[in-house]
């Protein structure tokens, strides 16, 4: 599935992933490939992204924390997520 993470300043990430773990306002949740459509608010916490490979822009690379070769995390203050047609869009602060 395709993931785009956008902040007010810039697009932080765009690429194919296998899963994403998110800090929802009513509890943390995970989205996998072909998940049903969803829109949710996010609270302060960490996005945990799993993919076969990662390509970051030089401007955003320092915002992500490497867990291992296939997992990175990104700390956020709040945000919104939309999953539709196997595309995840995260608007993050």
pLDDT for position 58? 81
* Tokens 């007010």 belong to residue: 8
Q: Which domains does the chain have, with CATH numbers?
A: 2-92 (2.60.15.10)
Task: List Cβ neighbours of 23 (8 Å cut-off, separation of 6 or more).
Answer: 42, 43, 44, 45, 46, 47, 76
Q: Is the pLDDT of residue 4 over 90?
A: yes
Segment 5-59, tens digit of pLDDT: 999 989 999 999 999 999 999 999 999 999 999 999 999 999 999 999 998 888 8
Beta bridge partners of 79: 42, 92
What distance lies between CA 35 and its chain's CA centroid?
A: 14
pLDDT for position 57? 81
User: For residues 20 and 33, is the Cβ–Cβ distance under 8 A?
Assistant: no
**Full-model pTM:** 0.94
């Amino acid at each position: 599935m395709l993931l785009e993470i956008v902040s007010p300043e810039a697009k932080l990430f765009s690429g194919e992933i296998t899963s994403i773990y998110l800090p929802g306002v009513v509890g943390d949740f995970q989205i996998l490939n072909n998940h049903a459509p969803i829109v949710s608010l996010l609270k302060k916490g960490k996005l945990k992204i799993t993919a076969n490979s990662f390509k970051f822009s030089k401007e955003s690379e320092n915002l992500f924390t490497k867990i291992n070769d296939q997992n990175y995390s990104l700390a956020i203050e709040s945000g919104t997520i939309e999953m539709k047609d196997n595309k995840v869009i995260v608007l993050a602060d």
